[in-house]
Structure 1
Amino acid sequence: MEYSVLTIGIPDELFSNLKKLIVQYRLRFIMSPTVHAAGQMLSHQPFHLLMVNLEYLRSIQQTDWLIGIRRISFVPVIIISDTPEKDMKGMIELGADMCVSGKWPYSMIADLAYAQLRRYTEYNHYRDPGGAEISPFQVSDIFIDPARRIVMVQGRSVDLRPREFSLLLYFMQNPKIVLTAEQICEHAWEMEGSYNRGVSGPIALLRKGIEPDISNPCYIETIPRIGYRFTAYRDETCDDCSSSVGLL
């Protein structure tokens, strides 16, 4: 499987050396031009490591940018700083996992990056990061861990019964696709034929757990006479639910 590393403001020399030195994984490095673009990418696709140059954030007066990121992603974050001893505490409080010096040997930074990748992929993903059936993943600001039966919405833990958990997992595996009641029964619950009690009850219970406003659903859209669609992104369906990340 190919893993993705997102970088922001990292010096070109460090960027190129990291690509050469972290050989334990098949990595795809993506350099984001702005924090706004990085926020959009983190909202729409999975990344396995985020590396940010603190001096760049300071230059654009966005040192608290990580607060918004932690609402949408649990990706490990390494901060590159000229003064890590001074900045460590503040960066950890904002959501970073590690603060290192850009003046350290490239091999040392690469080793620390590898350690974070290993923890997030092999340890948290049960050594099978490509297995969608067990690997934790995130769509917009909803995180799901199928093996541990964990759901978090914007960092808030949500308790779901097995039926609603399976329903959410099926929705998250098929974002923006209109799903019929028959498809939901067959693929989410492995039931053949029509579900004699319908799917509206489980949908209502799932909405109660994840929606910020049940009367105005942002995540699960009803398609009249057809089925339901997991819209995935709150800012596309709810005018007043825009993520702060998208506003940077």
Structure 2
Amino acid sequence: MFENPIESQRILAVDDNTFTLRIVQHTLEQAGFQVITAVSGADALKLINRHGMPHLAIVDLHMPIMSGFEFCHAVREFSDLPIIMLTAVNTEETIIQGLEQYAEDYIVKPFNPEELVARVRRVLRRMGDYNYTLESTTRIDERLIVNFPNREALVNGQSVSLTPTETKLLYILVRNAGRIVTTEFLLKRIWPMEDAQEDRLHVHIHRLRSKIEVDPSEPSYIVAERGTGYRFNVAADQISTD
């Protein structure tokens, strides 16, 4: 996991305009960030699978093969990666959709390089209390290993497939390992555009337990906190990435 100061954290920039990519990369590298680039959402996902989760992504909307919104939707299936949208699209409807569904910030092109750096730092500071950098393979303990991008768990060496919802649910719980995550928070993060009820969450918790617990009726990983929510019952400092 990355434990570096903000200025040495890794940024993923995604834009089909190579000129814009060069400006973004140069600007952020001059500010001390590590920058990796992709010219499409599909290429960006390949980079994440190969190198693990960056600390933040800067994403254009209109790209070939996979649009910015499609990339954000795919990432949200397994990650709470902070996203800044950097695009020429400035319609009110698109800005609202981006901010409500995926992005922590929205910047309209042309942009001021110094403002971009300031916004990146602001988002990273705001997200600093959370761990958004779970790598492709996350070792919970000797028994349980999870590959979040591939939606797969290894339980005692046996591969178990996870649904997108189970993956997102487990990701949030692991990210907050040892801490109580409220039911309300889980409902809003997993179904942000729906008025989901607690019963729906309980069903997915039950299914996830059936896949990863030794005894789902006496769970040791996903522990219910009566009247509050759930806690992933493993100390955060015991979880490692390969």
- TM-score, scaled relative to structure 1: 0.51
**Contact between 1:8 and 1:35, CA under 8 Å: does it hold in 2?**
yes
CA distance in 1 between partners of 2:42 and 2:126 (Å):
27
In the other structure, the counterpart of 1:215 is: none
CA offsets 1:140-190 (integer angstroms, 9 cap, x no match)? 24242346455999x658743789424x864x4155xxxxxxxxxxxxxxx
Which amino acid in 1 is paired with 2:43? Answer: A
Q: Residue in 2 aligned with 1:165?
A: 234
Q: How far apart, in 2, do the equivalents of 1:13 and 1:136 lie?
A: 29
Please give the alpha-carbon distance, in whole angstroms, between the structure 2 residues aligned to 1:46 and 1:109.
Answer: 21
Counterpart selection for 2:98 from 77, 91, 101: 91
Identity %: 13
Choose from 33, 37, 45 the match for 1:39.
45
CA contact (8 A) 1:42 1:73 kept: no
Identify the match of residue 28 of structure 1 among 14, 30, 34.
Answer: 34
Q: How big is the alpha-carbon RMSD for the aligned residues of Structure 1 and Structure 2?
A: 3.7
Out of 61, 70, 75, the residue aligned to residue 76 of structure 2 is: 70
Residues 45 and 71, structure 2, Cα contact 8 Å, conserved in 1: no
Structure 2 counterpart SS, 1:67? helix
Q: Is the 8 A contact 1:48 1:120 kept in 2?
A: no
In 2: Cα distance, 1:78 partner to 1:169 partner: 29
How far is the alpha carbon of 1:66 from its aligned partner? 1.5
Give the secondary structure class of the aligned counterpart of 1:74.
Answer: coil
TM-score scaled by length of structure 2: 0.52
Change in CA separation of 1:61 and 1:118 when aligned onto 2, cut-off 3 Å: same
- Alpha-carbon separation, structure 1, partners of 2:22 and 2:134: 28
- The answer to whether the 8 A contact 1:136-1:145 is kept is no
Separation of aligned partners in 1, 2:117 and 2:65: 26
Structure 2 residue identity aligned to 1:138? L
Unaligned runs of 5+ in 2: 136-147, 149-166, 191-200, 206-221, 225-230
Please give the per-residue CA displacement for 1:209-242, whole angstroms capped at 9, x wherever unaligned: xxxxxxxxxxxxxxxxxxxxxxxxxxxxxxxxxx
Deviates more, 1:60-69 or 1:98-107: 60-69
Distance change (3 Å), C-alpha of 1:174 and 1:79: closer
Tell me which moved more, 72-81 or 8-17: 8-17
The question of whether the paired residues in 1 share the 8 Å contact of 2:55 and 2:132 is answered with: no
Cα distance change, pair 8–174 in 1 and its aligned pair in 2 (3 A): closer
Distance 1:34 1:79, change over 3 A: same
Match of 1:4 in 2: 10
Residue 108, structure 1, aligned to residue 108, structure 2: no
Structure 2 CA distance for partners of 1:68 and 1:20, relative to 1, 3 Å = closer
1:79 Cα deviation (Å)?
Answer: 0.9
Residue 145 of structure 1 corresponds to 176
Matched residue SS, 1:64? helix
